[in-house]
Structure 1
Amino acid sequence: MTKFESYTESGTVILDGGMGSELEKRQIDVNNSWWSASALIQSPEDVREIHKNYFDSGADLAITDTYQAHVKSFTDQGLSEQKAYELIDSAVALAKLGLTDSNRSDGLIAGSVGPYGAYLANGAEYTGDYHLSEFEFQAFHRPRIVRLIDDGVDVLALETIPNFEEAKALGHLLQQEFPTVNAYLSFSTENGDHLWDGTRLSEAVAYFESISQIKAIGVNCTAPQNILPAIKNITPNTSKKIIVYPNAGDEYDPETKRWVSQHGPIKWDELVPLWQEAGANLIGGCCRTSPDDINDIVQATINQRH
């Protein structure tokens, strides 16, 4: 049994929260095509400290700052391929250092693999409106996946995937080339019923039941009120662990590359037990959530690890 599987078998796993919004609080400009990954160049020590803060708040798992850190993203803007790979290495190392610096004795590092839509840097992870062949999707994702594996992440985080064809290409890539690697797959959904490209969430989840490398499946970066409906569409269609990590309920503006706040306080103490009772095994936060939110999730979690 792998380390990731061991964690998921022994209790609810708590994920970390937003990275970009925590960087913004530190006056780091992430309004660019690299988004939070730009901090790997601008201020890596802040990335390390944010990881530490999440572990200190009770998170079991840190997601590396590689959501938008694709080799092509960096080389398109004039960096060398070597430098691009070094930045991915740095992202993993900073997550590991954050764990070392924290009050945690142990924890998990998940290597973030954002969708092709994130590379487009136009908000396409919230539309799924892009079309590549399976070969092209795999050619795009392979370099970052290989490097994250080489850097020793505990699990690949195939996250915020809005496009069913892209998800299938990733699943087949794992089967064909990475048979011993653990991953979780988390879809981007508008309301918990469908992926953004229109595919029914229930259909998408069911498709991956036979892909053994994917150990957990679920949704992320949707509003908290969409999580319970999503879980109800997931549970009948999988025997895998179920992962959910909502954003804070804000709306993303791809023109300004900023989030527009549309919510009051999130009642984690009410929501989290409902998600657990419905079947969620891995719970955390996504964009605009903070270490305080993760601490609240920990406090609200029934039979949490620790």
Structure 2
Amino acid sequence: MPRNTTLSTLLDAGKDLVLDGALATELEAHGCDLEDALWSAKVLLEQPHLIKQVHRDYYDAGASVAITASYQATPQGFAQRGLSVEESLELVARSVRLADEARQEYLAENPASGPLLIAGSVGPYGAYLADGSEYRGDYTLSAVEFRDFHRPRIAALVDAGVDFLACETLPSFAEAEALLQLVTEFDVDAWFTFTLRDSGHISDGTPLADVAALLRAEPRVVAVGVNCVPLELVTPALGALRDATDAALVAYPNSGETYDAVTKTWGPAAAGQAAPGPGPAGQGGATLAGNAANWRQLGARLIGGCCRTTPHDIEDLAANMTPRDPA
């Protein structure tokens, strides 16, 4: 899969890009049961055609970037299903091929569309633990252990031809340091997005300014921001990052509903009250589209959705963003 266009070249050309939305929400809408430690990676094993369909739905909705179904796809996780390392990494590569097939189908029907990109999802170690720790950052590994955990998946994503890496939902400064070393090692563009303790700190308590300082020295990190966070935290978090870096900013928060970590169910937004874990606190009728103009003023160049967002949300967002330029 040749890389004809890079994220950095599009950003350098002044493009602002619409990202896709939640993968799991749409897979559940297609009948998938994701009550599993592998989460959406389970579908890579059982119903991969549905992943391709969801990617296509988001391209149809106006997204220019699809994020692969590799967030929880790791050799360690698949080993619990009896898969070998080689079989596991083939599934990681499959996540890239499925996104590319959806891209090629869309472009065949819409040849005047601008470039479409594929981001290889690199979820945190906490995602593999499947205990919500990607929203706490309360796990501790050495730098070598972090790199050994992430390296095989990154190698598989790069070898399969992703346009760049999405190092996402990161709660830990130490893990970000290790991933930064791997981005340098593999010489690949990446964005880094973090979960938040509050509007000024990532989940392990590190100030956003310190995160920005870590990343701004590496030119391969083309954007930094937040994902899987409450809508209400995005604006102040982007403000904190804007004060600390000149890099492009990226934001793809949750839908605005609240998540009950005990019952593992979603409910209506609770205005003004932040929800733990993946669930955001809504601000009345706040939406991705309604916030896009403000986030762009703060420097967000890449905007999309995370948990519980849908192609309809991305379609509304795309209508409030710069239209795709013809190729």
Quick check: TM above 0.5? yes
- Check the 8 A contact 1:191/1:222 in 2, yes or no: no
Measure the CA separation in 2 of the matches of 1:251 and 1:197.
Answer: 21
Q: How large is the Cα RMSD of the aligned pairs?
A: 1.7
Letter in 2 for 1:161: L
The aligned residue for residue 276 of structure 1 is: 296
2:236 to 222, 229, 234: 229
2:75 to 71, 74, 78: 71
Does 1:3 find its partner at 2:6?
yes
1:124 to 125, 133, 137: 133
Does 1:47 find its partner at 2:51?
yes
Measure the CA separation in 2 of the matches of 1:252 and 1:117.
Answer: 18
Measure the CA separation in 1 of the matches of 2:206 and 2:68.
Answer: 28
TM-score by length of 2: 0.88
Q: Gaps (5+ residues) in structure 1?
A: none
Letter in 2 for 1:96: D
- Check the 8 A contact 1:241/1:281 in 2, yes or no: yes
The aligned residue for residue 140 of structure 1 is: 149
Does 1:185 find its partner at 2:188?
no
TM-score by length of 1: 0.94
- Check the 8 A contact 1:183/1:215 in 2, yes or no: yes
Q: 1:57 to 1:289 in 2, by over 3 A?
A: same
- Check the 8 A contact 2:197/2:204 in 1, yes or no: no
Letter in 1 for 2:305: G
In the TM superposition, what whole-angstrom CA distance separates every residue of 1:17-52 from its partner, at most 9, and x where no partner exists?
A: 000011111110011000011111121111001000
Letter in 2 for 1:135: V
The aligned residue for residue 218 of structure 1 is: 225
- Check the 8 A contact 1:190/1:222 in 2, yes or no: no
Measure the CA separation in 2 of the matches of 1:257 and 1:99.
Answer: 33
Aligned length: 303
2:94 to 90, 93, 108: 90
Shift of 1:81: 1.8
Measure the CA separation in 2 of the matches of 1:191 and 1:34.
Answer: 28
Worse-matched range after superposition: 74-83 or 247-256? 247-256
Q: 1:23 to 1:185 in 2, by over 3 A?
A: same
The aligned residue for residue 161 of structure 1 is: 170
Q: Gaps (5+ residues) in structure 2?
A: 270-281
- Check the 8 A contact 1:54/1:62 in 2, yes or no: yes
- Check the 8 A contact 1:122/1:254 in 2, yes or no: no
Does 1:202 find its partner at 2:196?
no
Percentage of identical aligned residues:
41
2:257 to 245, 250, 258: 250
